[in-house]
Amino acid sequence: MEKNSRLLTVSESAKGDPKILLTGVWVNDWGFTIGDRISVTKTGTREIVIKLDTPALKWMEMRRKKELQNQLIAAEGDLNYHRSTHPDLYDNILPNNK
């Protein structure tokens, strides 16, 4: 076996499907960290390649950005509804501050 190879066993998931689990300090030693997004690609018959897709910190910030965008959309909807039901409260506000 090559120096950068690991011998793993295909086991069974709770649903009875085949499962390959990569766990151990060696995963970190090879440059992966908890929370990283990875891609798994079949390259040939019974061969796969695992690559880092998005580092954990960047992936966390991407999820946070999406969450903030969703909150902004909801807040804008709430504000528009409030403005339509209470227009008198918005008469004295400059257009770019509505």
- 34: which residues sit within 8 A by CB, 6+ positions away? 56
Name the pTM for this structure.
0.53
pLDDT at 12: 95
pLDDT at 59: 80
pLDDT at 15: 95
pLDDT at 90: 84
Residues 85-95, buried b or exposed e (16+ Cβ, 10 A)?
Answer: eeeeeeeeeee
The string of pLDDT tens digits covering residues 12-58 is 999 999 999 999 898 888 889 888 999 999 998 888 889 988 888 88
